[in-house]
Amino acid sequence: VNEEFGMNVKINCQETILSSEDIKRYKAANQSNLSEIDQGLYSDNMLGWMDVNEWSGEADCSQIVSIAEEIRENAEVFVVVGLGGSNQGARAVIDALGCGGTGNGRIEIMYAAINISPNYMKKLIENIGNRSVYFNIIAKNFQTIEPGIAFRIICKYMEERYGEKEAAKRFIITPTLYDGALHKIALENGYRFLPFPDNVGGRYSVFTPVGLLPIAVAGIDINKLLDGARNAQKDYQEGGPIACYAKEYALWRNQLLQKGYSIEVLAFFEPELEMLGKWWRQLFGESEGKNNNGIFPAVCSYTEDLHSMGQYMQEGKRQVLETFIHVEEHGSDLVIESEVKFNDGFEYLDGKGMNEINECAYQATVKAHYDGGVPCSIIELPRLDEYNLGQLMYFFFLSCFYSSVLLGVNPFDQPGVEQYKAEMLKLLHGER
């Protein structure tokens, strides 16, 4: 681990898959594509995420923190209403830092509008029970059907439960300002709102009010998270390690794609990272999966998934590359009892900590997969905290940007998502 900087990225590939000459040639051929980004010559009106402070400067953060404090004082449940980029960044951070769920006096964070299941929605309302609740409705366009459905149901529920005036105080809206229906609704009904930046796409929005309010409500220090992202941004602008890591990672995966490695697994040994995996999957999948091209992103949570996907990783079709997130330092450990009353055959574990065993599993998996022909890269994080997550997520934004440009696709749109929506609308309008 690069102690001064924080995270570290190691790219590894078998000489038989990519020779060092291949890599040099590919780098040289793509240099100009990447420097177009670095020199600010890539033009797009969705680059607002690159400057972390644009949407999370001091004043923005103190407004977010003060709303979050009010919610934490008054509510036992906070429901985030939104899907895709409108919730995954926040969920990733909240889960990674162990701030989801209940217990320890924690406010419970729930997620609505992530599906169209009536059972899920009924259970969510049932689970709120008679606990005090606030809602954050997040939508960039407010044409997506899931938040549309949820908002109607929730408005009725809240007005019946609290009356119109009190319900209004318990809604925080995160809409695109000025031209969207949701912003208009907020203005007309006196709901408080925070901006959904018009120059930031959903999946790039975790460092804006979209991600920051739920994260702050979960009790996480958003300034530390933003410090990690700001540090990554500064480092990128100064041509430091982040710029180099992001480029190397993007070049590695694109070159492998050309060699037929069209699936990338993001793997980790900390189950708290499952939502981060989903967030990463959305970021790369929605940004790159275009023109019948792009790497298919998948997620494996080890060691559990070693007992399901491990077989394929080791001996299946050689089309998978693997990126490990490795956390170096852990806050707590659990030591295996050495004085047991039975002969269980596990004496070799006597007195060992679970962290040490997990570390062995990680090292063994990298070795076995690499030796089995899987190109592996490793992202080392000193520890799982706000700062390192901020740095990691900014790194992924940047590498996704580079990687999409290398692939020749627009990293910020998702035209394909519209196709199924159009078909669904036809059905709902009785046109078929």
* 298: number of Cβ within 10 Å: 17
Here's the x/- map for ligand PA5, 194-223, by CB under 6 A: it reads as -------xxx--------------------
Residues 138-167 close enough to bind ligand PA5 by CB under 6 A: 139-141, 144, 147
Question: Would you say 139 or 276 has its CB closer to ligand PA5?
Answer: 139
Q: With contact defined as beta carbons under 8 Å apart, do 301 and 290 qualify? A: no
- Establish whether 183 is a catalytic residue: no
Residue 8 binds ligand PA5, judged by CB under 6 A: no
- Establish whether 73 is a catalytic residue: no
- Establish whether 356 is a catalytic residue: no
Residue 84 binds ligand PA5, judged by CB under 6 A: yes
Residues whose CB is less than 8 angstroms from the CB of residue 388 and which lie 6 or more positions away in sequence, other chains included: 6, 7, 228, 381, 382
Candidates 9, 79, 83, 121; binder of ligand PA5 (CB under 6 A) is: 83
Nearest CA to 58 out of 236, 233, 196, 222 is that of 222
CA end-to-end distance (rounded Å), the chain: 58
Question: Would you say 83 or 155 has its CB closer to ligand PA5?
Answer: 83
Residues 120-139 close enough to bind ligand PA5 by CB under 6 A: 139
Residue 85 binds ligand PA5, judged by CB under 6 A: yes
CB of 180 to ligand PA5, least distance (A): 9
Question: Would you say 67 or 200 has its CB closer to ligand PA5?
Answer: 200
Question: Would you say 202 or 297 has its CB closer to ligand PA5?
Answer: 202
SS3 of residue 81 by DSSP: strand
SS3 of residue 231 by DSSP: helix
Segment near ligand PA5 (CB under 6 A), from 28-36, 50-58, 77-85, 230-238?
77-85
Question: Would you say 180 or 375 has its CB closer to ligand PA5?
Answer: 180
SS3 of residue 384 by DSSP: coil
Question: Would you say 6 or 201 has its CB closer to ligand PA5?
Answer: 201
SS3 of residue 311 by DSSP: helix
Size of the site for ligand PA5 (CB under 6 A): 15
Question: Would you say 275 or 320 has its CB closer to ligand PA5?
Answer: 275
Here's the x/- map for ligand PA5, 277-316, by CB under 6 A: it reads as ---------x------------------------------
Residues 286/291/294/299 CA torsion (nearest 10 deg): 40
* Catalytic choice (122, 123, 367, 421): 421
- DSSP string spanning 154-215? HHHHHHHHH-HHHHHHTEEEEE-TTT-HHHHHHHHHT-EE----TTS-GGG-TTSHHHHHHH
* Cα gap 267→277, rounded to integer Å: 8
Here's the x/- map for ligand PA5, 387-416, by CB under 6 A: it reads as ---------------------------x--
- DSSP E strands in 285-366: the ranges are 296-301, 320-329
Residue 180 binds ligand PA5, judged by CB under 6 A: no
SS3 of residue 229 by DSSP: helix
* Catalytic choice (264, 270, 272, 286): 286
Q: In what order do the strands lie in the sheet with 108-112?
A: 108-112, 77-81, 133-139, 171-175, 192-193
Residues at the interface with ligand PA5 (CB under 6 A): 82-86, 139-141, 144, 147, 201-203, 286, 414
- Name the residues annotated as catalytic: 286, 307, 421
